[in-house]
């Protein structure tokens, strides 16, 4: 029987106990002097990329030489401590094609980085994060225009893909 030291207890012993029987009461403090509360929260990884085309991207004047014309913005978002990287590829390796009939070479600048557009463009942002609404980088195009009489009529196209991944 354990009782707090401040409580007084009167025990009534049954009459059938032998005379050598003793009863003892002890108390020990159970209250601790420190306690801990463990807390934990988790932030999930954010990793996304989006391209916002300017209307000029789909209406390029191929008869006029163009240098560093802004045609899009890319929004990067990443909360990874080690940073992230962006891979950029061109379906036609930096060539606007009119099927197999004709083509026009072009170049792009991503933010301030000139791109090769040959499948090897990977820009690493080591130990950098793009938090909140992210980081926006301009895409600028350059090409040499040609007279309409020198080119086959039709649409000249390419598809550029942007992929974000963890470092």
Per-residue model confidence (pLDDT) at position 119: 83
- Give the predicted TM-score (pTM) of the model: 0.77
| Spatial CB neighbours of 109, under 8 Å, sequence gap ≥ 6 | 68, 115, 138, 139, 140, 142
Per-residue model confidence (pLDDT) at position 14: 56
Instruction: Return averaged pLDDT per consecutive 10 residues of the chain, 167 residues in all.
Output: 53 55 57 94 97 96 98 98 97 97 97 94 96 97 97 97 96
Per-residue model confidence (pLDDT) at position 30: 75
- Write down how long the chain is: 167
* Residue the block writes with tokens 């003793």: 22
Per-residue model confidence (pLDDT) at position 28: 57
Contact of 117 with 107, CB cutoff 8 Å: yes
Per-residue model confidence (pLDDT) at position 22: 54
């Amino acid at each position: 029987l354990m009782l707090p030291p401040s409580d007084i207890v009167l025990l009534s012993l049954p009459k059938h106990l032998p005379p050598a029987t003793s009863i003892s009461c002890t108390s020990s403090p159970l209250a601790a002097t420190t306690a801990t509360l463990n807390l934990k929260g988790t932030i999930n990884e954010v990793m996304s990329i989006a391209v916002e085309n300017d209307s000029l991207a789909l209406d390029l004047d191929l008869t006029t030489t163009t240098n560093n014309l802004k045609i899009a913005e890319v929004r990067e978002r990443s909360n990874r401590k080690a940073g992230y990287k962006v891979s950029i590829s061109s379906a036609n390796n930096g060539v606007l094609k009119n099927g197999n009939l004709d083509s026009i070479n072009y170049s792009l600048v991503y933010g301030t980085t000139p791109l090769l557009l040959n499948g090897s463009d990977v820009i690493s942002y080591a130990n950098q994060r793009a938090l909140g609404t992210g980081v926006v980088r301009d895409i600028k195009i350059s090409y040499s225009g040609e007279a309409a009489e020198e080119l086959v009529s039709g649409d000249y196209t390419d598809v550029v893909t942007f992929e974000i991944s963890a470092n």
